Amino acid sequence: MMFKKSYLKFLLVVLMGIFWCILYTKKLDLGQYKNFEKTKYIQYECEEKDKCDGWGDRLKGVLSTYAFSLLLNRKFTMKMTKGCDLRDILEPNEINWDHEKLPKNIDSVELKFAKRTFFDMFKTDYSLIEKHDNSSLIRVKTVYFLIDALFNNKQFKQRIREDLGIYKSDVNVANLLNNWYKKMFKLNKKYQGRYDDLLKRMKPNTKTSSICTQIRLGDPDQLQYRDKNLQKDFWKFVNETFINKFKNTLFTLYVTSDHEHIKQEAKDLFTGIDVVFNQNSSVHIDSIKEENQCDQMANILLDFHLMQNCDIGVVSHSGFGILALWNRPNPFKDLYVYTVQDQEQMKQNYWFNRRNMTFKKFSNLNDVFFQ
């Protein structure tokens, strides 16, 4: 009898233990589910069907979306698969932006900011995004630099300074680009070797001063609005401002352009210094051919990465060149932009007012109109 009672007590203890284990596990699962529900995301997207434009425009969208992620307390991801999956060239660095980390079957909403008017709106009002607070994933498609508008938004400004630990009065994308870009991207092993080889020629030693030129002649439909042989203005400016003026300085010249013949022209002209360039990078990223798409895209990104090492920048008034030079610890150091003298004219007609250009020193954001 005593044995039977002891057995029943033992069985009861075992059953109670099992019960509490099950209950604890269920609570744990519920807690994990709740935590999952609290995790929200915002993703920059550039897929095959999207109008993404060039690397500069894509980067504007990436940086703007990342700014939104910080300000809305959402995790940032990126899906750039048009032409070539970006992950085949660049890997996530400190920020894991890989879109495949997203939970399966996550609810989402798509937001397209395809007009310049959104820039002015976000200076004072961001309810367009705020109203989607319940969406687990906000998918952003834009080629506009909304980030500067956010920095001007009084509601955002204090959060930026507190969350990012930035208390300078001149917080802007130029101050942040190099830091954010390094946190986001690193070249994969396949392309890192090519980068290292070009960098050794571009900066063979610490005494070398590297001049970087980015010369955009323009797309075929834009040529009628531009001066012919404008590259000659670049050669004259580089010679008179640097090479002939500082004869005791060891210079190298890194050349990138949307037309491949410009690179060889520079090599033929500047025989007294080493002219360095990455072959076959003179193609717009939104117009790459169907064959070897990733290699074509990688050549463009190699140019962009290398230009963060420039001591002097002489660039066209374009997103690629300006952002490449901003992607330096000191973004405005010796930066010159080939543009019109009156920047108000540029605001009126950004792409088709490109005659009688000159070189303006770009020392702060107000010097050159950039959108």
- Phi, psi angles (nearest 5°) of residue 62: -60, -50
Residue 116: strand, helix, or coil: coil
Nearest in space to 282 (alpha carbons), one of 259, 307, 253: 259
Please give the domain boundaries of the chain with CATH numbers for all domains. Answer: 41-185 (no CATH), 190-361 (3.40.50.11350)
Band (pLDDT 50/70/90 cuts) for residue 8 is low
> For residue range 163-178, what is the model confidence (pLDDT) as tens digits?
666 655 666 788 889 9
Residue 210 clears pLDDT 90, i.e. is over it: yes
Positions of E strands within 157-299: 185-187, 209-215, 251-257, 274-276
- pTM strictly above 0.75: yes
Q: Please name every residue paired with 112 in a beta bridge, in sequence order, or none if there are none.
A: 141
* Cα–Cα distance list, 115 to 82, 112, 119 (Å): 21, 9, 8
Band (pLDDT 50/70/90 cuts) for residue 30 is very low
Nearest in space to 180 (alpha carbons), one of 64, 100, 39: 64
Classify residue 137 by its DSSP letter.
Answer: E
Average pLDDT in the chain? 85
Positions of E strands within 121-220: 137-142, 185-187, 209-215
Residue 10 clears pLDDT 70, i.e. is over it: no
Tokens 């959060």, located at residue: 159
> For residue range 212-245, what is the model confidence (pLDDT) as tens digits?
999 998 766 666 667 778 999 999 999 999 999 9
d(CA 109, CA 130): 12
Give residue 32's pLDDT: 41
d(CA 145, CA 370): 9
> For residue range 176-200, what is the model confidence (pLDDT) as tens digits?
899 999 999 999 999 999 999 999 9
